[in-house]
Amino acid sequence: MKKFKLMAVIAVAGALGLSARATTVTNADAVTIQATITLQSDNTEKGDTTKFNVTKVKVVTKDVLGLIDDEFGTTFANTNGTQLAVASFFDENSFEVLDKKGNVLIADASTDSDDYGLSINTEDDNNVVTGSETETAETDDYTAISEFEYNSADDESFLDIRGSATVKDSFNDTKETDSESFDFSGVGNAEINEDDGVATVSVSGKGTNGDFGD
């Protein structure tokens, strides 16, 4: 797959405008991503004073679609209504791309044949749950230690974010419906084109009638 420079991809996608909060879709969770990446940049000298500088990069959902475009040779970041989604919060490596009606355009946008990767996940033993259950309905509210990861195809850029997530799964056998929503926020290591930094990332998702639950 094509090699790329992450900053250039973000600049092109970001120029198209910020992505709105994802709508609810069927059989998956529509996802919204917002991140701030702070990179160490070149020092500046003035007289006998050295000033240490950083560069901040904002990343939104449309930018992530741009990264997927670069990997798979698509144009989703330029397509009105295209949505980023996951099959379920608890389904590792389940990012996918949907059209505005919720139809699947790429079933696996998490992995490819090279070093590219995009995932959000949690380990089963790293969550606690509250809620209730009857014969026909169940509600589970999870608090989970979670991780969001991105790695570029050329292995020169990555995000490795650790944080916590709240997840609500609801099931109703009588109405034959289920739903899931989640919010993740975290901080971690970042590297863009081999420049080191720190990133804060938030990811939210919402969907109905999918294969949800831990």
Please tell me the predicted confidence (pLDDT) of residue 152. Answer: 92
Q: What is the pLDDT of residues 121-144, one digit of tens each?
A: 886 667 899 999 999 999 999 999
Please tell me the predicted confidence (pLDDT) of residue 63. Answer: 94
The structure's pTM equals 0.83
Categorize the per-residue pLDDT at 114 as very low, low, confident or very high, splitting at 50, 70 and 90. Answer: confident
In a domain, 134, yes or no: yes
In a domain, 1, yes or no: no
In a domain, 105, yes or no: yes
In a domain, 47, yes or no: no
Please tell me the predicted confidence (pLDDT) of residue 126. Answer: 75
Checking if the pLDDT of 22 tops 70, the result is no
- Calpha distance 92→103 (Å, rounded): 20
In a domain, 210, yes or no: no
In a domain, 213, yes or no: no
Where in the sequence is the domain holding 85, given as residue range(s)?
6-42+52-204
Q: What is the pLDDT of residues 177-212, one digit of tens each?
A: 899 999 999 999 999 987 899 999 999 999 987 666
Considering only CA atoms, which of 117, 115, 109, 111 is closest in space to residue 85?
Answer: 109
Categorize the per-residue pLDDT at 6 as very low, low, confident or very high, splitting at 50, 70 and 90. Answer: low
Kindly tell me the sign of the dihedral angle through the C-alpha atoms of 35, 157, 9, 24: negative
* 8 Å CB contact between 200 and 188: no
Considering only CA atoms, which of 121, 120, 118 is closest in space to residue 151?
Answer: 118
In a domain, 209, yes or no: no
Mean pLDDT of the chain: 85
Structurally, how many domains does the chain consist of? 1
Categorize the per-residue pLDDT at 107 as very low, low, confident or very high, splitting at 50, 70 and 90. Answer: very high
Please tell me the predicted confidence (pLDDT) of residue 90. Answer: 87
In a domain, 117, yes or no: yes
Checking if the pLDDT of 160 tops 60, the result is yes
